[in-house]
A = this chain, B = another copy of it.
């Protein structure tokens, strides 16, 4: 067993996986449910999800989408209508066979994703070009049976949003897929402070039933890749399977082009592994349940005025729009509180004792650097919004620098193996799935995406030496 530090968690640098599992539980982000592979998202973790999903919901609505809700249960026969789709999801399905005291005539699938049930409804609702586009999103739980569950990263049930749109043309549906990729990038980078590479998946890595899949790929602090969200252009595959047709302005019946896109509670796992350190979580201020925690310090007799000052300071911070919490517990020491709020990743801690109070000041402590800054009380709240913005930017920059420092171009399999042992490799690929397989068997890495911001370049496939496809290097990594 790895050595644990004074907080009882294995240092990240010793065993990343143990660090992650222990931290999720100790920080009270989540717990394991009674059924294997299920997860309880505890209030502290759920608040992060509310802040992330609240911003995403705002962007989804601002780009002309409406929310709706579709049923959890899908007739098994519906899922079978799109052949690739059912093949992709079959091994992961949970099936209801008994309900209302009777065996069901047709088994029901608990949705692993909702293309099929939504496709069925769109076929009912869409008739004319005037009904298009249809741009609907839903916030929902989905179930995919996991053999190797991991809190937030792979759970039998998870929460997500799934957008489903129908359009008259391929151009519109592809543009829509990119709109979704853009707001996912805005949330990942602007809120989760998680830099992402955005680009197409290779055919073998696409969503089951998709013509194109764009993914957002982030680097975790162990050098592995995490897929933060995906957006799919589904062509007319689902429209054909479910009969989503419209009569054009020219009177001709045609199939719709559809898209779908999703981001899930997996993002929380990504936040933990992008920013956390040996002392625990580090949360980006924009998604931190508490951006600031005030810890009043003092012996029992002298705590009254300190508590009052702490509450007054918190009220002042609240007025400037800061999410602040005063830790008023009296049965644990100040040192215990410092450790606990560091473990739980609070960006800024304010220490306030009788001497500070007498001097009219407080000590502001930065979670990332550990720097302690004594400040006149009036300046604490006045400077806090800028301090939190700087913290947010510093986290993003650090994550981007980390990714750059752990990325290399690779022109041989050896170079690719070396680069992906600790991070990302940028390499050419010919387009033959056999080469992807060779690379994976040799290095454990897969092509994560064809980064849309990558420089146009030509070269030779890193596996077979044949002429490269995609017009640029792909990014490879070992993936969660």
The residues of A with any CB-CB pair to B shorter than 8 Å are: 31, 33-35, 38-43, 46-47, 49-50, 66-75, 78, 90-101, 107-108, 110, 117, 120-121, 124-125, 130, 136, 140-141, 143, 145-147, 156-157, 159, 331
Assess the B121–A71 pair: CB atoms within 8 A.
no
Q: Would you mind naming 13 contact pairs between A and B with Cβ atoms under 8 Å apart?
A: A33-B73, A38-B71, A38-B72, A40-B69, A42-B68, A91-B100, A91-B101, A93-B101, A96-B96, A97-B97, A98-B107, A110-B110, A141-B141
Assess the B95–A99 pair: CB atoms within 8 A.
yes
Q: Could you tell me the dominant secondary structure of chain A's interface residues?
A: mixed
Given A75-B35, A130-B331, does the pair A40, B68 have CB atoms closer than 8 Å?
A: yes
Assess the A141–B72 pair: CB atoms within 8 A.
yes
Q: Which residue of B lies closest to A45 (CB)?
A: B68
Pick from B35, B43, B72, B125: contact of A71, CB under 8 Å: B35
Given A33-B117, A71-B39, does the pair A94, B101 have CB atoms closer than 8 Å?
A: no
Copies in the complex: 2
Q: Which residue of B lies closest to A67 (CB)?
A: B46
A399 to B100, CA, bound (A): 36
Q: Which residue of B lies closest to A156 (CB)?
A: B73
A136 to B130, CA, bound (A): 45
Assess the A70–B40 pair: CB atoms within 8 A.
yes
A33 to B125, CA, bound (A): 12
Could you say which residues of chain B place their CB within 8 Å of the CB of A130?
331
Could you say which residues of chain B place their CB within 8 Å of the CB of A50?
67
Assess the B71–A34 pair: CB atoms within 8 A.
yes
Could you say which residues of chain B place their CB within 8 Å of the CB of A146?
100
Assess the A108–B71 pair: CB atoms within 8 A.
no
Q: Which residue of B lies closest to A92 (CB)?
A: B100
A66 to B43, CA, bound (A): 6
Assess the A31–B100 pair: CB atoms within 8 A.
no
Could you say which residues of chain B place their CB within 8 Å of the CB of A38?
71-73
Assess the B40–A73 pair: CB atoms within 8 A.
no
Distance (whole angstroms) from the CB of A464 to the closest CB of chain B: 35
Assess the A98–B100 pair: CB atoms within 8 A.
no
Distance (whole angstroms) from the CB of A156 to the closest CB of chain B: 7
Given A73-B157, A110-B110, does the pair A67, B93 have CB atoms closer than 8 Å?
A: no
Could you say which residues of chain B place their CB within 8 Å of the CB of A72?
38, 110, 141, 143, 157
Q: Which residue of B lies closest to A108 (CB)?
A: B35
Assess the A110–B92 pair: CB atoms within 8 A.
no
Could you say which residues of chain B place their CB within 8 Å of the CB of A117?
33-34
Could you say which residues of chain B place their CB within 8 Å of the CB of A101?
90-91, 93, 145
A38 to B157, CA, bound (A): 20
Could you say which residues of chain B place their CB within 8 Å of the CB of A157?
71-73
